[in-house]
């Protein structure tokens, strides 16, 4: 086995400025364009290790009484992380870091890199090292990988459903606090596209914003233009076709079509063509997403990608000694 090192990229202090340019570029025709092609790992090496070390400390991995009581100190083993269900992998670097923090000499070979589709029974990663270290790091390694791979897998399922249409699958800001960059990375691993990374990336005027100014769409857009940098995208949430007409008249770059029927979506797409990006949101499931995409919308945003994705079933199995 050859040693594997994850492609960790240092993150400069202004890294998110660069990310913003990819998440929602200034030109309205490309709003929300950080896709699976941009699969750079989002954490610097020290940040990755700190996160994994905190998880190992939480699990008291250095005081694993079950392993200390049953496994000889010098015993070495070989094993593999296996997929027990079909899915898409994300988070392999976390698993390697967990093993390496407890056994610096562990040998790791990754057979399924992030973004790779795997079938049940496939080997994702080979490991060889001290048995105590591998056993004590096992749960932390799998927790990271199962969660992120679950997001990638669910995203890939939605992407597959709309294959052949012009729509893209987007995530939202409905992410675990502190985990947004990682969960959005997993969405990209599954073939999805990232919506804005944070509140500063773009203007999204929602129903409560409009309620605060008596529903004045024109005033909302005008204020947004005046207060933000030139080229900042402005999106308005609309739940009626009348609101769509007002948003277009006000010069919005993108229209968020919230919980609209298929008939309404088709009408909105016709109205917005050549004038604004269209994004469908609300009531999106694997059963409905194809019909929504076939209305001609440009984007479909789905909060469930990050807040409700089930973990992908992965397991670490040792070879017989």
Query: What is the set of active-site residues?
Result: 139, 174, 206, 237, 258
CB 141 within 8 A of CB 94: yes
CA distances from 273 to 198, 238, 259, 289 (A): 27, 16, 19, 20
Q: How far apart are CA 126 and CA 96, in angstroms?
A: 10
Q: How many helices (H) and strands (E) does the chain have?
A: 12, 12
List alpha helices for 9-91, DSSP H: 15-23, 45-58, 65-70
Angle at 22 between CA 19 and CA 26, to 5 degrees: 115
- Measuring CA to CA, which residue among 198, 156, 151 is closest to residue 173? 198
Give the helix/strand (H/E) hosting 275: none
């Amino acid at each position: 086995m050859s040693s594997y090192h994850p492609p960790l990229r240092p993150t400069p202090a202004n890294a998110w400025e660069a990310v913003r340019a990819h998440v929602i570029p200034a030109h309205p025709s490309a709003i929300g364009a950080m896709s699976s092609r941009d699969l750079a790992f989002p954490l610097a090496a020290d940040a990755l290790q700190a996160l994994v070390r905190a998880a190992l400390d939480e699990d008291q991995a250095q005081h694993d009484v079950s392993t200390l009581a049953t496994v000889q100190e010098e015993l070495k083993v070989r094993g593999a992380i296996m997929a027990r269900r079909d899915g898409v992998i994300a988070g392999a670097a976390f698993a390697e870091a967990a093993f390496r923090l407890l056994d610096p000499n562990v040998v790791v070979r990754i057979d399924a890199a992030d973004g790779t589709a795997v079938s049940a029974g496939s080997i994702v990663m080979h490991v060889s090292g001290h048995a105590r270290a591998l056993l004590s790091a096992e749960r932390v390694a799998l927790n990271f990988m199962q969660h992120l791979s679950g997001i990638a897998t669910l995203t890939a399922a939605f992407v597959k459903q709309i294959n052949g249409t012009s729509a893209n699958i987007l995530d939202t800001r409905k992410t675990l606090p502190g985990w947004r960059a990682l969960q959005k990375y997993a969405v990209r691993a599954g073939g999805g596209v990232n919506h804005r990374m944070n509140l500063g990336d773009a203007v999204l005027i929602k129903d409560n914003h409009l309620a605060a100014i008596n529903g004045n769409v024109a005033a909302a857009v005008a204020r947004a233009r005046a207060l933000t940098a030139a080229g900042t995208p402005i999106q308005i949430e609309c739940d009626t076709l009348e609101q769509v007409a007002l948003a277009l008249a006000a010069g919005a770059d993108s229209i968020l079509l919230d919980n609209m029927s298929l008939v309404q979506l088709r009408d909105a797409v016709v109205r917005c063509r050549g004038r604004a990006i269209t994004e469908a949101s609300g009531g999106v499931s694997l059963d409905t997403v194809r019909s929504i995409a076939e209305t001609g919308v440009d984007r479909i945003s789905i909060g469930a990608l990050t807040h409700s994705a089930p973990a992908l079933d992965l397991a670490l199995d040792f070879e017989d000694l």
